[in-house]
Amino acid sequence: MQIEKIENKQLNEKYYKINHPSGLKIFVMPKEGYSSTYALFGTKYGSIDNCFRIVGEEEYTQVPEGIAHFLEHKLFESEDLDAFERYAKTGASANAFTSFDRTCYLFSCSGKFKENLEILLDFVQSPYFTKQTVEKEQGIIGQEIRMYKDVPSWEVLFNLLRAMYHNHPVAIDIAGTEESIAQIDDKLLYKCYETFYNLNNMALAVAGNVDVDEVVEIADRLLKTSKKQEVERVFKEEPAAIVERYVEEKLSVATPVFNLGFKETWNTPERTLKEEICADIILEIIAGNTSFLYKKLIDENLVNTSFSSEYFTGTGFAAMLFSGESSDPEAVAGKIKERIRYYKENGIGQEDFECARKKLYGRMIMSFNDIEFLADSLIKSEFMQEGLFDDIEVFKNLTVDDINNHLSKVLDEEYSALSVIYPTEEE
């Protein structure tokens, strides 16, 4: 077994990377003085993985929308106690999530770490699906899907994604639809499990009050060796153009909610770390809470402090998003576009660049005090085939020319769309 110590002397931080014989990559980041521990067991499998095959198979498998999220729910069950009941006995706080491109199971605890890690490794490796339990879950998740239809922040985002993307499954609700989950059965769940829950496609990260040797001992005892396999994912070709420029819906909100997105098209399926950091710096300069735009929108009472921006990216999709609440979302969208045009015409200056870079770099350094962030970042970095400290080198070597070069390729108004949720009209 290979255990590699990865250290950054500038930050005085270190973690251990373990290539376990089972095929699993394990990351352990001890944090001196911490009383709690956070663990994350993840697979590179999310809601967009609806068409795939194991390399060597002849046929591709097409599965119903929402099956990754459905599988996450079902994995907590067993013939005896479900995982939440087991965690209740140890006092740990446990959860799971499915995103567009990964599924993770987690717990945090301030004691009984060994028992909690044993539970995590056991239930994630022990699927139990039957026709009866699947049918029961279809009703539960159907209720969840209906509930999210009434959540403004969720609806405004997916309305935007459907306005931007023609074919890419990122436009499909992570939980699927009531019609799609009705097609799920135990055989399909086992097929997806066997494909994506192979330990070679997974990673375990533990941060906080933790000992490397203890993690290795538990892993040696409980991990089941997986045969290495390569999964091929298939996506329909996505045109550069958006579907429609504007979409709106009415829900029970006090103030209109909006998302403005700028769709991007790249030659590679995923953005590099440098491209992601360039995007974050550009967004901070344009719309950060110390920017000219932010101050103007606040002063004119067009937005409140909920106004924010983010780089939304994954396999085969990327977009810069601006969101918030506003009495006049279209006016806000107009002012955002106006400010983008200003920077595209005049360029980003050295002073603005340095200010944004230092701010984001400082924010990143502070995040090394957050064990949840660290465990999540270790998993994310592994799935992107990067290291936890790679950001530091990128920040160190970035120039204002890099930022302006990146700006010239993104934030094209032709590929922008606006999604708005307006208040339901009073009867």
Torsion angles phi and psi, residue 7, rounded to 5? -130, 145
CB 26 within 8 A of CB 215: yes
The DSSP code for 424 is P
416-423: strand order across its sheet: 246-251, 416-423, 257-263, 317-325, 308-314
Q: 44: which residues sit within 8 A by CB, 6+ positions away?
A: 101, 102, 196, 201, 202, 383
Tokens of 163: 């306005």
Q: 300: which residues sit within 8 A by CB, 6+ positions away?
A: none
Q: What's the angle, vertex CA 226, arms to CA 225 and CA 230, rounded to 5?
A: 155
CA distances from 326 to 4, 18, 297 (A): 50, 49, 10
Say how far apart CA 401 and CA 143 lie, in whole Å.
Answer: 50
Active site residues: 72
